[in-house]
Amino acid sequence: MFDLAWPWMLLTLPLPWLARRWLAPLARQFDAALRVPDVQDFATVEASAVTRSAPRRWRWLALLGWLLLVVASVNPRWLGEPLAVRASGRDLMLVVDLSESMEVKDFVLEDAAVNRLVALKFVAKEFIRRRTGDRLGLVLFGEQAYLNVPLTFDRDTVARMLDESVIGLAGRSTAIGDAIGLATKRLRAQNTPHKTIILMTDGANTAGHVEPRRAARLAAREGLRIYTIGIGADEMLVRQLFGTIRVNPSTDLDEDTLRDLAAATGGRYFRARDLQGLQEIYAELDRLEPVAREEEHFRPVQTLFIWPLGGALAVAGLLAAAGLLAARRGLNTA
């Protein structure tokens, strides 16, 4: 169905008539005395009179331009048929670590060593696409925390923005407390019964202004639940000049803090040592936070103001060109 967003803008339609009716016209009878000191210049006066009368031919075109501008200002819209969508009433904020340590290649994907962020993206994108009916958001953090995607039902956008994230985008340190604080701030403003933060990191809090446990207590007061995922293998082979040695690439992972963050909010801590373990964690999160089957309806809205606005601009350009042409003819005649 057709709809007008701001129908009260139609009240501006008679403005040109009111301006012509109540505003005094410029006095032109003195122009001849000032501009024609000689009888020989009366030919110029006659030519200028013709150029002044020329715009009258464009009066209807100007009125058409004004009408199109008013039509654009009421913001015409086309409302589509109601569509049913599943709504769970759950908000999920994904909080992803982009610090320098995420570059460690201790995961295997398709028989190739990949860094932790690549493995996280591979599994998390599938998790995102399965969350039918949830509103999802994305916070990226390193030395600072940024809201990359606000809460939305558009799962494809969240997955794409996660896929486009790169290590070091938010700094090379790890501000876990600031990231939880930002996610809490965005979630507490929502009037939904279920609010969840999924924090994914491979390190310890080394930057930021908010201590992680304090941020978790604030989240608990707001009724939020935090699930924490510690990412990183227990051991990996590192080639050196005199051979290969086994090292623990996860020595910086602060598991005690991650456990405390989850416990303070009624969530759980998970440890992802390889790709299969990471997939199992997200499957478990699907079980702990199941998608609901309730349906809501919404109408897709297509705005149409761009067409009358484009027409108004075209008319304005035509009138401007006509005015310049008339002025040039007047100068040539003079």
Single-letter code of the amino acid located at 289: E
In this predicted structure, what is the pLDDT of residue 42? 45
In this predicted structure, what is the pLDDT of residue 87? 57
Q: Is 20 helix (H, G, I), strand (E, B) or coil?
A: helix
The span from the CA of 12 to the CA of 304, in Å, is 19
Q: Locate the domains of the chain by residue range.
A: 2-80+301-333, 84-296
The span from the CA of 267 to the CA of 23, in Å, is 71
In this predicted structure, what is the pLDDT of residue 45? 46
The CATH code of the domain at 84-296 is 3.40.50.410
The span from the CA of 235 to the CA of 255, in Å, is 16
In this predicted structure, what is the pLDDT of residue 54? 46
Tokens in use for 157? 């956008």
Tell me how far CA of residue 103 lies from CA of 100, 247, 256, 309, in angstroms: 6, 16, 23, 50
Beta strand pairing call for 243-247 and 236-240: antiparallel
The span from the CA of 173 to the CA of 161, in Å, is 21
User: 133 — alpha (psi -120 to 50), left (phi > 0) or beta?
Assistant: left
Per the CB < 8 A criterion, the answer to whether 124 and 162 are in contact is yes
Q: Is 197 helix (H, G, I), strand (E, B) or coil?
A: strand
Tokens in use for 290? 């199941």
Quick: pLDDT tens for 224-247: 999 999 998 887 766 766 667 777
Beta strand pairing call for 225-231 and 107-109: unpaired
Which residue positions in the chain have pLDDT lower than 50?
29-34, 39, 41-54
Residue with tokens 């207590």: 217
Minimal CA–CA distance to 259: which of 268, 251, 272? 268
Tokens in use for 88? 């769970």
In this predicted structure, what is the pLDDT of residue 36? 52
In this predicted structure, what is the pLDDT of residue 333? 64
Minimal CA–CA distance to 160: which of 147, 149, 151, 171? 149
Beta-carbon contacts of 18 under 8 Å, excluding residues fewer than 6 positions away, are: none
